[in-house]
Chains A and B, each alone.
Chain A
């Protein structure tokens, strides 16, 4: 054997050990010397890692959601005093009222945690890990080890972020965007001291985690598809997760570079972002020539793609769930794919629309207006395709399907206000008001959360071999759906009236105190919605152990490959050979057949997709 051949053989052996690690005919394949540690903690099984991401994300969702309830309490009842708050928060709520410092810390942490830890790690971490190998027909990720590292970097990032809440000066409180100088100067505010150091460390670890994850997702999708699984036969979930990973791999490093410069400004006296600053009690700083706007460019070059990192996985899952539960092929598969691509490409070209009022050259601003409004085109394509998928479908209103439909509703409502905000001229008035809060919470926050709920309800049977309770699911959906609109719809009016975001107390403002009762109403609804999420958690954890058992391989009668695995698949997913794929994922209602799985060979007189 020549050397070259030996090497190839060698690589082949190596990859065969990855692919077939546990895939031989023996059915006891996942029982061989697996300890509690290697099965549940330092697991390299993508399905277990997905569950780790999901449950860590849930912990953060509860914490981040609770924070929003706490600061809503301040906004709704600025004059009231709640003694239990003092027992919960100690010196941060002296006399039962949240201090301004604590309020800003809560707002900042809520934003950071929800955007990065819940809707990035919790959403794409969970479903990219869970669905990619199962739906493309692979035993595991390209590198199960890097995959495990990805989770543990996220876990350490979580611990560091959590610990920042217990330092004496409190967690970082300068907003989730961490603009300098507040983030660059320890003397700027209490939260800018140790809290900010921990924030930067946590975020850097988080970036490493999502890069490791993203590399793996891309390599797995491009390299490890089963026989017959061409790129255009992939379910749309996989395409969405693929573009998500590409966005992350290309934009997170730029945020990292911005943060490295921030670390230098904080700790080594450099002047990347600082110039002409006077700090009360310290005096004039020696830093000259820095530019705070530079940070904003670096931040938003990630920050905008980040919006799509959050949204695309939800879009992919909604497309899949909608097709399965309407018993119809997804309308316009190629258009769906093209619009995903268009959104991913435009994501990199619109970041300065977050900076219209920073003194940006108006001509440059108008270019960004054009590019921003262009996103409406692929977004509209997607919306119309979802609606036409539903049209005359034989709809099964499962909780997952309801959340998918809810996603589309929220995406339309929130997307329309995006057209307002994308205009530089309107943005002068609307910038930093509750209008923006309402817009991005609906279109990105709640909508993606709905995508995540849809995914959890839909794939829970595959994850745990049991169903979640439907009645609780319906209650969860309707309360959350109504609540989301009741919370955020009124905020549009507040924003149009100019009510600024991030303010501690509006009751002393002549122009905004008319909204006192409205703010109280929003606060009450937010507490009800939070309670409904607790219901979801109870349903989730109860069903893991006591839920109705899945008795058939394919409970949703879906076409994709994950439903060809055993009800509780072991590490390696398929006990025997990985099945071969013969068709796309959306043959529903074809030739009078309700559904035809991807593994079914194409009949002699059947037209292929």
Chain B
């Protein structure tokens, strides 16, 4: 039993390995970005300021996620639901602010797609867009465990789903920090 405790739950382990493969997806894209940037015909542009706001939002959402996990373990189900809701809202705000960033660029006539586009802009769209999809995946996961909190069947407070969701949520947060720093200073 004592050795059992130290072992990670297999699901958690699957998640960690899965995060590794998500890292490889973005490593592939950002290294392609570096290669492409070193070649001719690259358009340098500033990231719209709204991306800073979205960075703040996702950082904040990690705090609320952590609070939700803490409250769950303390059996404060009311507060737990509140923090989960807050996290979901912040996740959606993050997505909206990113979209605003894309339209701000388009408004500045920096095309992200289409015949006038430069791959600098297209890369931003693809990289940030894929990250948005991963955030939305997290939102769906949170929505599912949120609904399960209302289910009468959940009597014996299994923290595993919440823990898995929070590991994933912090991961997409850190991933965005990396991408943001990369796009801001390398890009």
Contacts and interface: CB of A to CB of B under 8 A. Distances in A.
A14 B160 contact: yes
B77 to A, nearest CB: 13
Given A142-B14, A252-B21, A291 B39 contact: yes
B109 to A, nearest CB: 15
Interface string A519-558: 0000000000000000000000000000000000000000
A219 interface: yes
Given A10-B157, A10-B158, A253-B28, A272 B122 contact: yes
B29 interface: yes
A222 interface: yes
Is chain B's binding surface mostly helix, strand, loop or mixed?
Answer: helix
A301 B160 contact: no
Interface string A248-267: 01111110111011001000
Contact of A14 (B4, B5, B25, B158): B158
A223 interface: yes
B11 A143 contact: yes
B9 interface: yes
Contacts of B115: 269, 286-287
Contacts of B4: 12
Given A18-B10, A146-B14, A258-B28, A249 B117 contact: no
A3 B160 CA distance: 13
A142 B13 contact: yes
B14 A249 contact: no
A11 B22 contact: no
A275 B39 CA distance: 12
A277 to B, nearest CB: 12
Interface of A: 3-4, 6-8, 10-12, 14-15, 18, 142-143, 146, 211, 214-216, 218-220, 222-224, 249-254, 256-258, 260-261, 264, 268-272, 275, 286-291, 294, 297-298, 301
Interface of B: 4-5, 7-11, 13-14, 17-18, 20-22, 24-29, 32, 35-36, 39-42, 73-75, 113-119, 122-123, 125-126, 130, 156-160
28 contacts: A3-B75, A4-B73, A7-B73, A11-B9, A12-B4, A14-B9, A14-B160, A146-B14, A214-B17, A218-B13, A223-B7, A249-B20, A250-B24, A252-B21, A254-B27, A257-B28, A258-B32, A261-B126, A268-B114, A268-B122, A272-B32, A272-B122, A287-B115, A289-B40, A289-B42, A289-B118, A291-B36, A294-B35
Given A3-B75, A218-B13, 16 more contacts: A4-B73, A7-B158, A8-B5, A14-B160, A143-B11, A219-B13, A219-B14, A222-B13, A223-B8, A223-B10, A253-B21, A258-B28, A264-B125, A269-B113, A275-B41, A297-B32
Sorted nearest first, the 7 A-B pairs with minimum C-beta distance are A289-B41, A254-B28, A142-B10, A253-B25, A257-B28, A286-B115, A270-B122
